[in-house]
């Protein structure tokens, strides 16, 4: 199985918000507090054990190895067939309204089956999901690594739009991919007590990475996952 992943270079990020704006335009994210698939948060200036630091936290869904959002979904499991975008190989698995794609590792939402209960939104320890209440029937939404764009051979909208080329996207299971080389060289995930295998990584100076790690979730929001 492949695992799509993203590396964000904090040394390159200039905090221009182009990634967040492109994402909002691409996926018609409503304007309003809490409606976001992608964000850029300012961190610092602040003292760290490595000196004064100032950086940005470009955030999105981490497409975790063991996503808690999928297990709390109350929708009855349904058997679904999936096709590998690369090889055409097929497999069938049982999924709920939110699930981890068996061939790409991307965490997706079946909007037709989503009942808008918000359970997955509450369960995500990274705050990467939101409930779109602007719709006639509320639905959960979040970053999908621009699944449709990538399967057409394009880059995610945020990657394509990044002026500083701070975002690098690719297949982590491919040892020759740029993301794979970067992760092996200097990986840092936003994870502490809540270790569910995020597949978004950051590289940069130690002082900036220290600030970033303060954003790591300290506990799960649901006790039963």
Query: What's the pLDDT at 218?
Result: 76
Q: Is the pLDDT confidence value at 38 over 80?
A: yes
Neighbours of 211 (CB within 10 A): 23
For residue 98, give the nearest of 83, 112, 114, 85 by alpha carbon.
Answer: 114
195-225, pLDDT tens digit by residue? 899 999 999 999 999 999 999 887 766 554 4
Q: Which domains are assigned to the chain?
A: 4-213 (3.30.70.20)
Report yes or no on whether pTM surpasses 0.85.
Answer: yes
> How large a percentage of the chain has pLDDT more than 90?
87
pLDDT of residue 195: 83
* pLDDT recorded at residue 222: 55
């Amino acid at each position: 199985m492949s695992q799509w992943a993203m590396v964000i270079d904090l040394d390159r990020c200039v905090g221009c918000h182009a990634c967040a704006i492109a994402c909002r335009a691409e996926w018609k994210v409503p304007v309003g507090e809490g409606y976001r698939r992608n964000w850029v948060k300012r961190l610092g200036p602040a003292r760290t054990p490595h000196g004064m630091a100032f950086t940005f936290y470009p955030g999105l869904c981490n497409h975790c190895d063991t996503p808690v959002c999928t297990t709390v979904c109350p929708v009855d499991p349904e058997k679904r067939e999936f096709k590998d975008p690369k090889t055409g190989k097929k497999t069938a698995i049982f999924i709920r309204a939110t699930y981890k794609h068996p061939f790409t590792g991307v965490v997706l939402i079946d909007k037709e089956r989503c009942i808008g209960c918000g359970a997955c939104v509450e369960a995500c320890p990274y705050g990467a999901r939101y409930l779109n209440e602007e719709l006639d029937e509320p639905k959960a939404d979040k970053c999908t690594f621009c699944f449709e764009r990538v399967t057409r051979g394009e880059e995610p909208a945020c990657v394509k739009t990044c002026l500083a080329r701070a975002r690098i996207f690719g297949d982590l299971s491919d040892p020759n991919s740029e993301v794979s080389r970067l992760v092996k060289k200097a990986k840092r995930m936003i994870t502490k007590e809540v270790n569910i295998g995020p597949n978004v990584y950051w590289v940069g100076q130690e002082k900036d990475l220290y600030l970033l790690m303060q954003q790591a979730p300290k506990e799960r929001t649901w006790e039963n996952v």
